[in-house]
Chain A
């Protein structure tokens, strides 16, 4: 059973607008969350993380929001750029040295 779920396989957004990618989790013991970005034919690269003691973390155009009561996190990209087109994975650690990943959301930013 997937502990981290991304229910939207794809999202299209116009350049300059906001992109919102969503992620739900089932394990209330998760204490931090990460977002990775993946371009075709490359490995995933770390984008941004958030600790469970926070409800928001911001890094430039990227902001991650955490709603612990709803077991939900979201990644906001403002403004979206064509270079942001990639697959985005959310992830959480079921144990100290492991990560479990969502199935990913393909973001397409249209020029």
Chain B
């Protein structure tokens, strides 16, 4: 089991460029999450998908879109990147509510 995988590991974008962060899990989990981590801010939820076919906004959804492509994959898209989106992005998944979340290794994004 690879657990939760994320690609790419690192990306540099110019302001206004778009990109998609990919996340996949092989644990047959129902729910998947996207977080961003910024210094002094902890982990903040961007979007989540409680189950295949559903997505919901988290705490900081502005500037992002998501797609739950199937049960395994949950992608995060930045349509027009801004310097404020420079961050480390983590994907996570759980099988059932109140279970612990499993995190991917993160994608470090720098927007110039």
Contact = CB atoms under 8 A, between A and B. Distances in A.
Interface in B38-56: 40-45, 48, 50
B92 to A, nearest CB: 8
Interface string A69-111: 0000000000000000000010101001111111110000000
B41 to A, nearest CB: 6
B4 interface: yes
- Report the contact-size class of chain B (Cβ under 8 Å from the partner): 20 to 34
Given A43-B4, A46-B100, A97-B31, A9 B40 contact: yes
A59 to B, nearest CB: 13
B42 A103 contact: yes
Contact of A98 (B58, B90, B100): B58
Contacts of A103: 40-42
B97 A41 contact: no
Contacts of B92: 43
A49 interface: yes
Interface stretch (B12-20, B70-78, B79-87, B101-109): B101-109
B98 interface: yes
Interface string A27-40: 00000101000000
B101 A99 contact: yes
Interface of B: 4, 31, 33, 35, 40-45, 48, 50, 58-59, 90, 92, 94, 97-98, 100-106
The list of the 10 closest CB pairs from A to B, nearest first, reads A43-B103, A96-B97, A46-B100, A103-B42, A101-B43, A101-B42, A44-B103, A97-B97, A43-B105, A97-B50
Given A32-B98, A41-B105, A98-B58, 7 more contacts: A43-B105, A44-B90, A45-B103, A91-B43, A93-B98, A98-B33, A98-B48
